Amino acid sequence: MSDVLRVAFVTGSAPDKWAARWRERSRTRLALTMVEESEQRRVLDDDTADMVIARLPIDETDLHVVRLYEELPVAVVSREHPAAAYDELPVADLLDEQFVLGPPAGMTPVSDQLDFPPMSQRDAVEVAASGSGVVVLPMSVARLLQRKDVAHVVLTDLPSTQIALVWKRDRDDDDTQAFVGVVKGRTSRSSR
């Protein structure tokens, strides 16, 4: 066991309740670090983090993966956009829209789809707020980036995304298993 358990987490995941339980139960310090989805595997490979609360998919080679929960996909639109009047829609209702971060998986873009430059999710939400496009995000990320001038609408026919706790197979020590227990809701008196 080391003095610190380093857990990275992707934008939109909320490790706070698990961190609070960990601090109640363990003498090992917990260091939390937010990472971009594109970095979630790298921080394990370069030993920057011991575990990651990741958004799947991730290359699962040599990893333990504990699936935690699913996130609904939403379209982030300007408050003035017609879709803002709905709580949920099929993605087909947005077929003619410009998708700032690219069209959802499996959707063929309209022939005149603009090529937006690569940008962060926060910048993409700003573009959506201007009325220039639609952004498809997991609901947790849309809520994190919420602004007064945008609305998010659940997309009923897109697959959900999944949050999982992942760690290297060769890093399966007592602290790692104790954190898995916390995340899975085991009490301090229960065993694996």
Give one DSSP letter per residue of 26-57, joined into a string. -SSEEEEEEE-GGGTTHHHHTTS-SEEEEEEP
Q: Are 44 and 60 in contact (CB under 8 A)?
A: no
> What pLDDT, in 10s, does the model give residues 107-154?
766 656 667 778 899 999 999 999 999 999 999 999 999 999 999 999
CB count within 10 Å of CB 165 equals 24
Q: Mean pLDDT over all residues of the chain?
A: 91
Give the pLDDT of residue 105. 75
The predicted model gives 38-59 an average pLDDT of: 96
Domains of the chain: 4-70+161-183 (3.40.190.10), 73-155 (3.40.190.10)
Q: Are 155 and 90 in contact (CB under 8 A)?
A: yes
Give the pLDDT of residue 80. 96
Give the pLDDT of residue 116. 78
Token couple for 124? 């993409």
| Measured distance CA(62)–CA(138) in Å, rounded | 26
Per-residue confidence at 178, pLDDT binned at 50, 70, 90?
Answer: very high
CA dihedral 12, 55, 71, 103 (to 10 degrees): 100
